[in-house]
C-alpha cells in the first residue's frame, strides 16, 4: 500500500512541510529508515536522525523546529508518537492473521459457554462452567479452569494459565506465560518449626482494557479478590500478590513486585524492579522511579518518588550524587578532626 505525504497529512490532521507528493510504502524507525519509509520523531534524543535519515516522510510534533536542513517531508501533528501509533495499528491489522474458530485437539467442557466469533487454539483447555465472550481469542496451550468468566474481545496468548473462579474483562490482553489466580503466598507457623498452608479461596478480577505482560503472575486473594482495575498496563515478569488492588490506568514496568493487600491508586506510573511492601496504600498519580523500595504508604497525590530508602524524587537524586562522594566526605571529616585536635593541643 502506497500513500503520499499529502494523504497521510489529511489522515492525521497534520500540516505538511516539504514535498506533499512524495510516497511511502513502509513504516520504519527513524535511524533505520530507507527511502520510501515513513518515520516519526518523538524522543528529542533522536533529533539528529531527522537530518540524516533516509526516510521519505517524518511525523514530528507541532512545535518541532528543525535547526538544520531536512530532506524528508515533515508532517507536523499534535502528538507525533500517538499519530504514528494510529498508522502502526492499521498496519498491524493488515499483517496479523485473524484467528477464528475452534482448532482440533482442544478441550471444551460441555458446560462451558462460548460466544460468537471466538478463536480457541489447539491444546487449549476450557473447563467446566467457563464463559467466553464474543470475539475473544484463546491461543494454543492455554488453560482456563472452572467457572472463569472471560469478557468480549479478550486475547489470551499461548501458554496463559488461569486458575478457577477468576474474571477477565472486555478487550483485555494477556500475554504468554502470565499466570492468573495461583495461590497467594500465605502460611502460618504450625508451632513445630514448619508451616501450614493458608487456603486461598478468593479470586482475581481483571477489569476491561487491561494489558498483562508475559510471565507476569497475579495471585488470587486469600478471601475476596485481587483486583486489576480498567486500563491498567502491566509489563513482563511482574509479581502481584494476593489481595492487591491496582487502580485504574496505572502503568507498571517490568520485574516490579507488589506485596500482599497493598492498594495502588489510579494513574500511577511505577518503574521497573520496584518493590512495594504489603498492607500499604499508594496515592493516585504517584510516580515511582525504577528500583525503588516503597516501605510506607504514600498519602499525597501526584508526587514523584525514588530510591532505597524512598524519598521525594529530586531529593533522592541529590542523595545519590552525594553518595558517590562518600569516601571523599569521610576524608574531609578526618581532616577536620586532625585540625581541631591540633588546635586543642
Taking residues 297 to 316 in sequence order and writing x for each that binds its own copies by CB under 8 A, - otherwise, the string is: -----------xx-x---x-
193 binding its own copies? (CB under 8 A): yes
Nearer to its own copies, 13 or 21 (CB): 13
Q: Which residues are bridge partners to 206 per DSSP?
A: 168, 228
Strands (DSSP E) found in 245-318: 245-246, 251-252, 257-258, 263-264, 269-270, 275-276, 281-282, 287-288, 293-294, 304-306, 311-312
Binding to its own copies (CB under 8 A): which residues in 318-337? Answer: 318-327, 329-330, 332-333, 336-337
The one segment of 8-16, 48-56, 59-67, 243-251 that binds its own copies by CB under 8 A: 243-251
173 binding its own copies? (CB under 8 A): yes
Binding to its own copies (CB under 8 A): which residues in 8-27? Answer: 27
* Residue whose C-alpha cell reads 478480577 in the numeric block: 205
Element housing 4 (H / E)? strand 3-4
- Among residues 6, 109, 175, 242, the one annotated as catalytic is 242
Whether 34 and 28 have beta carbons less than 8 Å apart is answered as yes
Binding to its own copies (CB under 8 A): which residues in 46-75? Answer: none
Dihedral sign for Cα atoms in the order 57, 61, 65, 68: negative
Taking the complex as a whole, how short is the minimal distance between the CB of residue 65 and its own copies, in angstroms?
22
Cβ within 8 Å of residue 89, ≥6 positions away = none
**Residue 323 CB coordination number (10 Å):** 10
Taking the complex as a whole, how short is the minimal distance between the CB of residue 147 and its own copies, in angstroms?
9
* Residue whose C-alpha cell reads 480457541 in the numeric block: 120
Taking residues 203 to 242 in sequence order and writing x for each that binds its own copies by CB under 8 A, - otherwise, the string is: ------x-x-xxx-x-x--xxx-----xx-x-xxx-x-x-
Taking the complex as a whole, how short is the minimal distance between the CB of residue 23 and its own copies, in angstroms?
19
Binding to its own copies (CB under 8 A): which residues in 83-112? Answer: 85, 88-89, 91-92, 95-97, 103-105, 107
Taking residues 265 to 294 in sequence order and writing x for each that binds its own copies by CB under 8 A, - otherwise, the string is: --x----xx-x-x-x----------xx-x-
Nearer to its own copies, 70 or 254 (CB): 254
125 binding its own copies? (CB under 8 A): yes
Burial call 274-287: b when 16+ CB within 10 Å, e when fewer = bbbbeebebbbbbb
Q: Does residue 242 have an active-site annotation?
A: yes
For the purposes of burial, counting CB atoms within 10 Å of the CB of 239, is it exposed (0-12), middle (13-18) or buried (19 or more)? middle
Nearer to its own copies, 71 or 214 (CB): 214
Whether 328 and 311 have beta carbons less than 8 Å apart is answered as no
The one segment of 4-12, 15-23, 52-60, 78-86 that binds its own copies by CB under 8 A: 78-86
Angle at 297 between CA 296 and CA 302, to 5 degrees: 125
The one segment of 7-15, 53-61, 66-74, 192-200 that binds its own copies by CB under 8 A: 192-200
The one segment of 2-10, 13-21, 69-77, 115-123 that binds its own copies by CB under 8 A: 115-123
* Residue whose C-alpha cell reads 520504519 in the numeric block: 28
Q: Which residues are bridge partners to 305 per DSSP?
A: 288, 312
Whether 84 and 14 have beta carbons less than 8 Å apart is answered as no
Taking the complex as a whole, how short is the minimal distance between the CB of residue 200 and its own copies, in angstroms?
8
Residues known to be catalytic: 242
Amino acid at each position: 500500500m502506497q500513500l503520499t505525504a499529502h494523504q497521510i497529512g489529511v489522515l492525521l490532521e497534520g500540516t505538511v512541510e516539504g514535498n506533499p507528493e512524495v510516497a511511502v510504502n513502509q513504516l520504519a524507525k527513524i535511524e533505520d529508515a530507507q527511502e520510501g519509509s515513513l518515520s516519526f520523531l518523538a524522543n528529542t534524543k533522536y533529533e539528529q536522525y531527522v537530518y540524516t535519515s533516509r526516510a521519505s516522510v517524518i511525523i514530528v510534533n507541532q512545535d518541532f523546529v528543525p535547526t538544520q536542513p531536512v530532506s524528508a517531508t515533515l508532517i507536523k501533528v499534535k502528538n507525533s508518537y500517538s499519530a504514528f501509533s494510529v498508522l502502526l495499528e492499521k498496519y498491524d491489522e493488515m499483517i496479523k492473521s485473524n484467528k477464528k474458530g475452534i482448532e482440533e485437539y482442544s478441550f471444551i467442557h460441555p458446560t462451558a459457554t462460548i460466544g460468537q466469533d471466538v478463536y480457541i487454539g489447539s491444546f487449549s483447555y476450557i473447563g467446566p462452567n467457563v464463559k467466553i465472550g464474543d470475539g475473544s481469542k484463546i491461543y494454543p496451550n492455554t488453560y482456563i479452569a472452572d467457572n472463569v468468566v472471560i469478557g468480549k474481545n479478550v486475547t489470551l496468548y499461548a501458554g496463559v494459565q488461569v486458575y478457577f473462579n477468576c474474571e477477565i474483562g472486555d478487550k483485555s490482553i494477556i500475554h504468554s506465560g502470565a499466570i492468573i489466580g495461583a495461590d497467594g503466598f500465605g502460611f502460618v507457623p504450625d508451632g513445630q518449626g514448619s508451616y501450614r498452608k493458608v487456603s486461598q479461596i478468593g479470586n482475581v478480577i481483571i477489569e476491561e482494557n487491561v494489558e498483562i505482560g508475559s510471565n507476569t503472575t497475579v495471585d488470587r486473594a486469600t478471601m475476596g479478590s485481587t483486583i486489576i482495575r480498567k486500563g491498567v498496563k502491566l509489563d513482563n515478569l511482574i509479581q502481584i500478590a494476593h489481595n492487591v488492588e491496582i487502580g485504574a490506568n496505572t502503568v507498571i514496568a517490568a520485574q516490579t513486585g507488589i506485596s500482599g493487600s497493598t492498594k495502588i491508586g489510579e494513574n500511577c506510573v511505577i518503574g521497573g524492579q520496584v518493590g512495594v511492601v504489603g498492607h500499604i496504600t499508594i496515592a493516585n498519580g504517584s510516580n515511582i522511579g525504577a528500583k525503588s523500595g516503597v516501605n510506607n504508604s504514600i498519602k499525597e497525590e501526584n508526587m514523584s518518588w525514588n530510591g532505597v530508602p524512598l524519598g521525594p524524587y529530586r531529593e533522592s537524586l541529590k542523595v545519590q550524587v552525594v553518595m558517590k562522594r562518600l569516601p571523599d566526605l569521610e576524608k574531609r571529616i578526618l581532616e577536620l578532626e586532625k585540625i581541631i585536635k591540633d588546635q586543642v593541643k
